[in-house]
Homo-oligomer: A and B are copies of this chain.
Amino acid sequence: MIQRPPALEKLLEILRSLPNVGPKMSERIAFHILRMPEDKIRDFIDILEASHAEVRPCPICGHWDDSSPCRVCQDPSRDKTVLCVVENSQDVQAVSRIKNFKGIYHVLGGTLSPLEGIGPDDLQITSLLKRLETEPIQEVILATNSDMEGESTAQYISKQILSVSAKIRGNGRPEGIKITRPAQGLPSGGELEYMDELTLTHAFDGRREFDRN
């Protein structure tokens, strides 16, 4: 084996620490970076510095943005009574593609995962419950992923909200908070024969009368 320059070894090491980047891919990316012309690498570094300095989690909802509070929390046209709880900031972006949803968000920053040592205190759950006490929220959509971690996180948060909801009701608020979860079923364009059992079970359990119009 030929010894590699220490600077290249360090570059490979830090690239491998990025999500989904394995040894082969780290090499490809490393040599792509080494081959960048001077002005391109300068740009790259400037962009890394600027984005890291400017883009921060919103102190209210946790969505990553360059304004504080974020542009969603500052938007007066949003329906402040419907709050969508998501795992991360990318999910905010995904949900924002739904034309019919004009509510606000709350970013948990992950899901409960006992195996990885992620408990309730590692997620933005306390701040979520605080918001329910102080903001005029009537519905919470628990839009965590429909995998095991997402399901159990939704379960946990739902229970927490119910207790807070009872407290709020005691404090004079007329109704409890409605808790919903996105429907599970066949994805659009999904072919029955390729669907797993759980997806099919959810799709059949949640079947609705066919709309003949």
Contacts and interface: CB of A to CB of B under 8 A. Distances in A.
A29 B36 contact: no
B48 A11 contact: yes
Interface in A92-143: 92-93, 96-97
A192 interface: no
B5 A55 contact: yes
Interface in A44-66: 44-45, 47-52, 54-55, 64-66
A72 B34 contact: no
Contacts of A166: none
A39 to B, nearest CB: 12
A11 B52 CA distance: 9
24 contacts: A1-B96, A2-B71, A2-B93, A4-B93, A5-B67, A6-B66, A7-B47, A7-B66, A10-B50, A10-B51, A11-B47, A27-B90, A31-B88, A31-B89, A33-B48, A33-B52, A34-B51, A34-B52, A34-B55, A36-B52, A41-B48, A41-B52, A44-B48, A45-B49
